[in-house]
A and B are shown apart, each in its own frame.
Chain A
């Protein structure tokens, strides 16, 4: 079975600090995508960053970057220079297989609080 595990239910850091959210996954597939989604309080879920498994280079989007360790099946999200607007639930998700355009496998989420 394919699973995604986020081991940190909640994290809290001061504004401007760097924070890393962890995610591990389990799959026998060799080709897949990994995603981090952000869900701010009472707002819509939005895609933060994605990584293709066949790419060695870690994806980066402005202050957001990932550390993708394929052998370890680890996909952590680093947020640099954190801002108050980064306060949200963060979900790690995984997509693989022939029905990949249908199904994302989700982690349970990490609640991130940025303190002023």
Chain B
């Protein structure tokens, strides 16, 4: 496997189900991200894990729970979702810190994306 992989690619679940999305990166990166992609809307950053630090978007409901057991794996645990949570969930990774060039006070680190999980909540 190369790059960033995500499983499952498609998921249909009821509002009372509990499921998990998995992401794995094979790039040696130390930062991983979850995004929500809805049609005709900008990508929404949900969570970031970077060097054991977690950053979250305060607008993300608590029914989404991330887990990052190590720098290569990222999970998104789902429970009691709503139909409006149906979307494409993208995982990405990057290398935090030096590397990739940068300006004073800013670091550029290209994010590499997985293929996404298409989630449908009935």
Contacts and interface: CB of A to CB of B under 8 A. Distances in A.
Contacts of A103: 45, 48
Contacts of B81: none
Contacts of A31: 103-106
Given A45-B90, A101-B96, A102-B50, A50 B45 contact: no
A58 B31 CA distance: 29
Interface in A42-67: 42-47, 50, 52-54
Given A31-B103, A50-B110, A101-B94, 8 more contacts: A43-B115, A44-B116, A45-B92, A100-B108, A101-B50, A101-B96, A101-B108, A107-B42
Contacts of B7: none
Interface in B46-93: 48, 50, 55, 90, 92
The prevalent SS among residues of A at the interface is: loop
Contacts, number: 71
In this complex, the interface size class of chain B, counting residues with CB under 8 Å from chain A, is 20 to 34
A101 B31 contact: yes
B106 A104 contact: no
Interface of B: 3-4, 31, 40-43, 45, 48, 50, 55, 90, 92, 94, 96-97, 101, 103-111, 113-116
A90 interface: no
B109 A101 contact: yes
Nearest to A91: B43
Contact of A4 (B42, B48, B97): B42
Contacts of B96: 101
In this complex, the interface size class of chain A, counting residues with CB under 8 Å from chain B, is 20 to 34
Given A4-B42, A108-B41, A108-B42, A98 B114 contact: no
Interface of A: 4, 9, 31-33, 42-47, 50, 52-54, 91, 93, 95-109
B108 A47 contact: no
A32 B113 contact: no
Contact of B107 (A45, A50, A100, A108): A100
Contacts of B3: 44
Contacts of B48: 102-103
B114 A104 contact: no
